[in-house]
A and B are shown apart, each in its own frame.
Chain A
């Protein structure tokens, strides 16, 4: 993975020291909260319902064991002994105390981490496919471009005060595990007919209160041009994005209002001008230099179908169940990608305790895993496991209560922190997620239902991605009472689509029954092994409406 040199390291240390000075001024009363707010937001520090919340950047979701142990240490020493992994591959600590934050930043800087640009109207943490470097279908490791973009976007001189926040995601294959179609900019790495690798660029996707699927703005941007091209998109947005209304300020609204044709025209013009100066041309030597950090580990030459692995699956049904859902094909024979579910039934989706983080770091060391990945679906991934080690891995995960075999199933629910923590929320998300998971806890039932993605947001800002859930749930406030609407048919993957609201919402008790009714309706309608999403797309909303709202 990427390793800081003295320049990267100095920047994050200086930044931590700068914030120490700002916090001191705030605590001494020299800065009002109004004056302090933009400064703390530039360092990922939010003020929420009960406490400050610190959002730690995890670039493209990649952590080494040392970093994971440091996160465990920081959460234990300065917070309440746990953190919350988010849909943007970051980690949030929800109980931070302001005087501690400079020390927390310094601890992070020591392991090449920071909270830069995890809030504010700037380019946020660059996210990528969590299976990077391991997926069998990958064209190129998306972390190479992601790291180039991390450096390009860090304290960008022109684009640090955009109309609104700006999120970029990169996928290294045509299968989209990074939700690129619902980002401000989504980048798909692809290979042209002549074998050249380049970038397909989408713009104007996003969720929130006005969701849109991204539009193609560049069909094939050559590697060397990508910074000039992105700078062109950013400049068009910075100049023309709306600043009169915070709810209409994202680039998706600009694209929607002027149309993708006009957006393309403006970007092409700007791109041509920027290219003329040549300053932002990305030399092959720089790409090669960064790519070296992401060179694959030394894979052994193995045969697939390790005998002991196959025997373990036959001998242990629980293990076989876990393999069935949580293990994915690796590009190398004899290797596998293992997903560690953070969706233990009855627990908060995405939460991870300091003890669990330490335990996972020990597991990484034990199995020679240099990295662990955070997924936008709030799970963790060990990308380069030997098949022969999977049984031992599973036993150790079992001991940590982290071997829940539910990746992609109905209990693998995305949920935002909701009204339990967030001052923007209208309703609680976590209790809904845990109640649904408990209702569907039976594993045979989950497996029978197959891939089914439930995503829950506690307000229209959509941090829980409810628009792109196969079943989305949106919490709203109805005259002071929490109320939950159901959306069906969304997807955040390569077949991206936005869910449609089914009808009137349900109260806290009713929503779990309603979800169960939706799922029962699907079961009656599906043909063979048809996924929920495919059944919905085939039959439409009507049968579900009839079942839910029949008088």
Chain B
């Protein structure tokens, strides 16, 4: 099930395997296929998603990113944290503003971290409920680090109130 902003949404994209015919409508293709058939795929002028495997660099998409509606980051196992860097690069240096969707094996307790680096859609296992995601997103109120989610950091919060002088 696809979850965005902590609610279930309809998934309009069809993932298409390499070599298979592209149907009408929004599709998701692999990076490999996208790079090989770029001009033809972009000429379709339909919403397009590209799927990156863990370890594939989002920099490869750079010139075409404004034309993409979706970047899928697929992680094979929750321990593989490369997608955190990929998402953050997409949102910062590469200036990508479309949907970043996480698929594969990740934990409920990682959703808050992924949200902080700019992932805004999660393909979650059916045993995880929206309520659980809501809770997981709000268990820890404040953050120390500035990131692409634009959350006010603890340093900013400190600056807003009269500092407690150290004793």
A528 at the interface (CB under 8 A from B): no
Contact A161 to B144, CB < 8 A, known contacts A39-B109, A273-B93 = no
Q: Mark B62-90, 1 if CB is under 8 A from A, else 0.
A: 00000000000000001111101100100
B141 at the interface (CB under 8 A from A): yes
Could you tell me if A277 and B142 are in contact, using CB atoms closer than 8 angstroms? no
- Residues in A with CB closer than 8 Å to B164 are 3, 5
Query: Whole-angstrom distance between the alpha carbons of A238 and B87 in the complex?
Result: 13
B117 at the interface (CB under 8 A from A): yes
**CB-based A-B contact count at 8 angstroms:** 90
- Residues in A with CB closer than 8 Å to B57 are 239
B163 at the interface (CB under 8 A from A): yes
Contact A157 to B147, CB < 8 A, known contacts A7-B154, A121-B79 = yes
Could you tell me if B113 and A11 are in contact, using CB atoms closer than 8 angstroms? no
B134 at the interface (CB under 8 A from A): no
- Residues in A with CB closer than 8 Å to B84 are 157-161, 238
> Count of chain A residues with Cβ under 8 Å from any Cβ of B?
39
Could you tell me if B81 and A38 are in contact, using CB atoms closer than 8 angstroms? no
- Residues in B with CB closer than 8 Å to A289 are 158, 163
Interface size for chain B: under 10, 10 to 19, 20 to 34, or 35 or more residues? 35 or more
**Binding stretch for chain B, among A71-79, A148-156, A497-505:** A148-156
In the complex, what residue of chain A is closest to B107 when comparing beta carbons?
Answer: A38
Query: Whole-angstrom distance between the alpha carbons of A161 and B85 in the complex?
Result: 10
Contact surface of A with B, Cβ cutoff 8 Å: 3, 5, 7-8, 10-11, 14-15, 17-18, 38-39, 42, 121, 151-152, 154-163, 235, 238-239, 243, 273, 277, 279-280, 286, 289, 292-293, 295
Could you tell me if A292 and B166 are in contact, using CB atoms closer than 8 angstroms? yes
B7 at the interface (CB under 8 A from A): no
Could you tell me if A292 and B140 are in contact, using CB atoms closer than 8 angstroms? no
Contact A239 to B85, CB < 8 A, known contacts A18-B140, A39-B109 = yes
B139 at the interface (CB under 8 A from A): yes
**Smallest Cβ distance from B100 to chain A, in angstroms?**
14
Could you tell me if B81 and A162 are in contact, using CB atoms closer than 8 angstroms? yes
Query: Whole-angstrom distance between the alpha carbons of A7 and B161 in the complex?
Result: 12
Query: Whole-angstrom distance between the alpha carbons of A159 and B88 in the complex?
Result: 11
- Residues in A with CB closer than 8 Å to B93 are 273
List 27 interface pairs A-B (beta carbons < 8 Å), by A numbering. A3-B166, A3-B167, A5-B164, A7-B157, A8-B154, A10-B141, A11-B140, A11-B141, A14-B139, A14-B140, A17-B139, A18-B140, A38-B109, A42-B109, A121-B79, A121-B81, A151-B154, A152-B145, A157-B84, A157-B149, A158-B84, A159-B84, A161-B78, A238-B85, A289-B158, A289-B163, A293-B166
B46 at the interface (CB under 8 A from A): no
In the complex, what residue of chain B is closest to A15 when comparing beta carbons?
Answer: B140
- Residues in B with CB closer than 8 Å to A277 are 92
- Residues in A with CB closer than 8 Å to B154 are 7-8, 151
- Residues in B with CB closer than 8 Å to A293 are 166
Could you tell me if A10 and B144 are in contact, using CB atoms closer than 8 angstroms? no
**Smallest Cβ distance from B93 to chain A, in angstroms?**
6
Which of B107, B116, B140, B145 has most chain A Cβ within 10 Å? B145
Instruction: Indicate which residue in A18, A163, A238, A295 contacts B139 across the interface (CB closer than 8 Å).
Output: A18
- Residues in A with CB closer than 8 Å to B85 are 158, 235, 238-239
Contact A10 to B78, CB < 8 A, known contacts A158-B147, A161-B84 = no
**Smallest Cβ distance from A271 to chain B, in angstroms?**
13
In the complex, what residue of chain B is closest to A1 when comparing beta carbons?
Answer: B166
In the complex, what residue of chain A is closest to B75 when comparing beta carbons?
Answer: A161
**Smallest Cβ distance from A223 to chain B, in angstroms?**
16
- Residues in B with CB closer than 8 Å to A156 are 145
**Smallest Cβ distance from B90 to chain A, in angstroms?**
12
B97 at the interface (CB under 8 A from A): no
- Residues in B with CB closer than 8 Å to A10 are 141-142
Instruction: Beyond the given A18-B140, A157-B116, A160-B113, please list 12 additional residue pairs across the A-B interface where CB-CB is below 8 A.
Output: A5-B158, A7-B154, A7-B158, A11-B142, A17-B139, A151-B144, A155-B140, A158-B88, A160-B81, A161-B80, A161-B81, A162-B81
Query: Whole-angstrom distance between the alpha carbons of A18 and B117 in the complex?
Result: 22
Could you tell me if B81 and A238 are in contact, using CB atoms closer than 8 angstroms? yes
Closest 6 pairs (CB-CB, A-B): A161-B81, A157-B116, A293-B166, A7-B154, A158-B84, A151-B144
Instruction: Indicate which residue in B110, B142, B147, B158 contacts A161 across the interface (CB closer than 8 Å).
Output: B110
**Smallest Cβ distance from A160 to chain B, in angstroms?**
6
B143 at the interface (CB under 8 A from A): yes
In the complex, what residue of chain A is closest to B136 when comparing beta carbons?
Answer: A18
**Smallest Cβ distance from A450 to chain B, in angstroms?**
41
Query: Whole-angstrom distance between the alpha carbons of A11 and B112 in the complex?
Result: 14
Query: Whole-angstrom distance between the alpha carbons of A550 and B121 in the complex?
Result: 69
Query: Whole-angstrom distance between the alpha carbons of A159 and B116 in the complex?
Result: 12
Query: Whole-angstrom distance between the alpha carbons of A159 and B142 in the complex?
Result: 17
Query: Whole-angstrom distance between the alpha carbons of A154 and B92 in the complex?
Result: 21
B33 at the interface (CB under 8 A from A): no
Could you tell me if B110 and A158 are in contact, using CB atoms closer than 8 angstroms? no
B44 at the interface (CB under 8 A from A): no
- Residues in B with CB closer than 8 Å to A121 are 79, 81
B38 at the interface (CB under 8 A from A): no
B146 at the interface (CB under 8 A from A): yes
- Residues in A with CB closer than 8 Å to B149 are 157
B165 at the interface (CB under 8 A from A): yes
